[in-house]
Chains A and B, each alone.
Chain A
Amino acid sequence: MTRISITVDGVRYDDDVEARTLLVHHLRDRLGKVGTVVGCDTSNCGACTVLMAGDAVKSCNVLAVQADGTEIITIEGLAGGDGSLHPVQQAFHDRHALQCGFCTPGMILAAVDLLAENPDPSDAEIREGIEGNLCRCTGYQNIVRAVRDAASALRGAQVAEPASAVDGQMPGTPQAPPAVPSEPESVPVEAVPRPVP
């Protein structure tokens, strides 16, 4: 057993862990951070991605002891303390970038990391950047759109996209009824502690 101290989503946890314990199991089984999930046993799927010391890591590929002294942000700690979604979360919702949602926590955190390194990625760079995260549902197209939107939002420049099929208002098909007011669209999120920057 080794004593480790890590800060997860703004809360400090001191625990004794076995040397072989993976960070993802420590997060899930010990700290109850079940928002982070496991999709494989070969470090291929990225479902377990968290931010460790600011960088995206596959938490199934890190030993808990290696995380000692670091600060970790999981999907549960990404939204603001007031419940406001992180721009990447908001963009995933707005762009229908998730279906079953199992890949989503890892995908969102991988995207957060990507945008920290490259605030204005091309579509190809987005696709390369999230290559380590598998999604079986979406075909990735809406994920790429969401990351692109989030990049604009994070840069503070609201770049309007040309009208296309993206909003489901497909050219030539009967138009959907007038857009529903956007107000009820905001996702209610329970207050979560904001991670200390």
Chain B
Amino acid sequence: MTTVQERPAGEVGAARKRKEDARLITGRTMWTENITLPGMLHLAILRSPMAHARITRVDTSAALREPGVVTAFSGRDVADTQGSLPCAWPVTEDMVHPDHPPLAVDEVRHVGEAVAVVVARDRASAVDALAVIEVDYEPLPVVLDMEDALAEDARLVHADKGTNKAYTWVFDSGEAGTGQGVDAAFAGAEVVIKRRYIQQRLIPAFMEPRSVVVDPTGDQHTIWSATQIPHILRVMVALVTGTPEHKVRVVAPDVGGGFGGKLQVTAEELIAFMAAQRVGKPVKYTESRSDSLVSAHHGRDQIQDVELAARRDGTVLGLRVNLLANMGAYLGIVTPGVPLLGAFMYNAIYKFPAYRFVCTGVFTNTTTTDAYRGAGRPEATYAIERLMDELAVELDMDPVEVRRRNWIKHDEFPFDTVAGLTYDSGNYEAATDKALELFGYEALRAEQASRRESGDPVQLGIGVSTYTEMCGLAPSRVLGALRYAAGGWETASIRVLPTGKVEVVTGTSPHGQGHETAWSQIVADRLGVPFEDVEVLHGDTRTSHKGLDTYGSRSLAVGGIALVNACTKVIEKARPVAAHLLECDVSDLEFADGAFRVRGAPSDAAGKTIADCAFAVFAAHDMPDGVEPTIDADATYDPGNFSFPHGTHLCATEVDAETGRVTIRSYVAVDDVGRVINPSIVEGQVHGGVAQGIAQALFEEAVYDGEGNLLTGTFIDYTPPSAADLPDIVSDRTETPAPDHPLGAKGVGEAGTIASTPAVINAIVDALRPYGVSDIRMPATPERVWQALRGGARS
């Protein structure tokens, strides 16, 4: 922690109201769907109604005769040129990697797959013309269940591959040398807890539907897309289509949420690109919500077979994880890697010495899965935190006490984990103590005891979830070792304009996170310029040519360091200019409070500000010899390690044993995300993250029928929670600075989602223990709870 620089007084740490809001609250926003270009045409996509079928005939000719239709085509028309959608994470050498054509050619493999398109003068004409496209399908057997898919004689999603198994990936602490062999640990165990947990399939359900506009008329082909990853998209479009990269410009304008769901190179983007090339005109496609729910990638969908070995004093000895991860029908940009991000988190905040993780990726005739907020870490955290509660019950111990006996103590950091990571810092004791106090843990336990005693039909349950997670994707060497195709660095540029205003170009790509505000705060402090004088530019490869975008809570953890380093470079470039202006030696200067002054001079002595230096290099009339007339600077930073925020979430639920209704009575989140740039933004991230985790616990599930039709294909059926469904939470923090970050910051985007799901389910199960219930499937709807009560009471 000694490497953390002192926080400069000023902007960083202040609850600044957001710069972004001005346009968002007045309706002056640039959503992709708002873009209209001269001559622009509209694209509509015909999607497969079948989960698995051979396409025996497609005839788009009737559509071409419809009024206003400019072109119509199917996968067959572009089979030789359309390429395959990219998967950037082949996790094993022998991973099965099927072709993923943007438009299906001979076969469709999930409901909602794109089959044919119409381009017309307006959206209604395009949509109308879809109705006259003729497609003949010859149904093929459908496989939906992962265990069925792995059976000996399974029906195959990709017949030519001969298997539904995408890969098996193994981590074994004994073999890796990060701990002991797991078999020995289990052999020596006094208690073994074995469970199967189901991570239901979820849908990210960002509020802004995906939308893309492609303009092929300029020297560069410009793609506006509602994406989290404009930079990655640019590279991928170049690679997939063969268009030279310098001829592709990608812009992510205002983007309405992502949560991992817009971390994708989509079929729709490439189809729009093809269509625009074909007609030589700008083309726009915006999905409907129904299209979005069935075709944008889904998340989670894992079966977790987990086994925990412990001694009767509560000491955990080892963990075995056997995971089935549903890939869906194809592999998206990071589909195979998502469960691996969890592989490093099953040991959570605990010190146990032996761990084995085996993950098998499985193809099914369902929508492709990929990153969704937390991506692997929520699943891992859920499993271990459920197991810790089960262990506590088995040993008749308080669930907090069991955790306490196993967690890494604050003076044991940096800590090398059994999964091979080095946790940077943390103070689990402090966060937990604070959470227990805010929650009123003892009083609630007492109330619970008396309600159990009196046989109250509404039982009180208390759920504990202690978590850590890895933020800041990622050290490039780690990604390389995990066979990910790209690096994990981030970049920032600073341009100081002649009048002293500052433009910051970041390679991160915010879509709700408030980077414009937070980055301004950082730069204002570092350069000593007013917050208002900083403009943050992002998401357009013309201004921000380089970057790796926003996901995995990486923007501040990695991009923030690039930004600080760029500020430092600006100051260093300005230093000789200032020395020249002040007619002193460079070594006599110090930079503080926004100005260079001769060392030892009083702070009100005349100095030279960054703005003074910017004007001096602009005029450049009187530069010191050999000094370049600019103080602009770029920095690219590759992290040496992840950062590891942590925290303790506590949830109290009231469960009506007669109706199965679950009410969250109180929820306390104490998160330690390191030093905080803007507490109000951090709190907002926690609120939203917790809401999405509660949604997994209580409300949401993507459900398919036996034929592979998505039954939850609208918001009526998918039921993302409304304001009336969610509680107020108490959010508080402890602050353990990140030792590897000059600002001490860690990352906060996913913490709430990771922590909250097990907190809620642990609370429900805790309420139901007196009835013999020891688990509940998510989402824990009243019906599920009621069923569990009936089943549990019998068992």
Contacts and interface: CB of A to CB of B under 8 A. Distances in A.
Given A96-B17, A100-B255, A75 B208 contact: no
A108 B26 CA distance: 10
B733 A102 contact: no
B207 A74 contact: no
Contacts of A171: 732
Interface string A39-70: 11110110100000000000000000000000
B28 interface: yes
A103 B207 contact: yes
A177 B14 contact: yes
A139 B289 contact: no
A140 B309 CA distance: 41
A102 B27 CA distance: 9
Nearest to A36: B27
A128 B724 contact: yes
B14 A141 contact: no
B584 interface: no
A139 B722 CA distance: 9
B750 to A, nearest CB: 13
A142 B684 contact: yes
A116 B754 CA distance: 39
B413 interface: no
A85 interface: yes
A131 B725 CA distance: 8
Contact of B13 (A28, A75, A92, A177): A177
Contacts of A139: 687-692, 726, 729
B208 A39 contact: yes
Contact of A165 (B254, B513, B732): B732
Interface string A95-118: 010111111110010000000000
A180 B688 contact: no
Contact of B26 (A35, A41, A127): A35
Interface residues of A, number: 74
B617 to A, nearest CB: 28
A94 interface: yes
Contacts of A47: 207
A176 B289 contact: no
B102 interface: no
Contacts of A184: 530-532
Given A139-B691, A168-B680, A184-B532, A131 B21 contact: no
Nearest to A171: B732
A132 interface: yes
Contacts of B513: 99
A108 B678 CA distance: 24
Interface in B2-33: 9-11, 13-18, 20-29, 31, 33
Interface in A143-197: 143-144, 165, 167-174, 176-177, 179-180, 184-185, 187-190, 192
Interface in B73-99: none
A3 B731 CA distance: 54
Interface stretch (B319-327, B713-721, B771-779): B713-721
A38 B733 contact: no
A144 B700 CA distance: 22
Contacts of B29: 34-35, 101
A137 B289 CA distance: 17
A44 B714 CA distance: 9
Contact of B681 (A96, A104, A179, A189): A96
A38 B209 contact: yes
Nearest to A100: B512
Nearest to B257: A100
A89 interface: yes
Contacts of B20: 101
A41 B9 contact: no
A2 interface: no
B17 A134 contact: no
A33 B27 CA distance: 9
B28 A190 contact: yes
B728 interface: yes
B454 interface: no
A12 interface: no
Given A39-B207, A99-B512, A141-B729, A172 B434 contact: yes
Contacts of B122: 29
Contacts of A185: 17
B27 A105 contact: yes
A122 interface: no
A89 B26 contact: yes
Nearest to A164: B730
Contacts of A127: 722-724, 726
B49 interface: no
B22 A180 contact: no
A169 B689 CA distance: 20
A23 interface: no
Interface in B730-759: 730-735
Contact of A169 (B15, B724, B730): B15
Interface string A72-90: 0011101100000100010
Contact of B728 (A29, A130, A144, A173): A144
B290 A41 contact: yes
A116 to B, nearest CB: 18
A47 B79 CA distance: 38
Given A34-B34, A41-B288, A100 B680 contact: no
B679 interface: yes
Contact of A101 (B14, B256, B689, B728): B256
Contacts of A96: 17-18, 680-681, 683-684
B206 interface: yes
A126 interface: yes
Interface of A: 28-29, 33-42, 44-45, 47, 74-76, 78-79, 85, 89, 92-94, 96, 98-105, 108, 123, 126-128, 130-144, 165, 167-174, 176-177, 179-180, 184-185, 187-190, 192
Interface of B: 9-11, 13-18, 20-29, 31, 33-34, 122, 205-209, 254-257, 259, 288-290, 434, 511-514, 530-532, 678-684, 687-692, 714-716, 720, 722-724, 726, 728-735
18 contacts: A34-B31, A38-B209, A41-B289, A47-B207, A76-B28, A79-B26, A89-B26, A130-B722, A132-B722, A136-B207, A137-B207, A139-B688, A139-B726, A167-B680, A168-B679, A185-B17, A187-B22, A188-B22
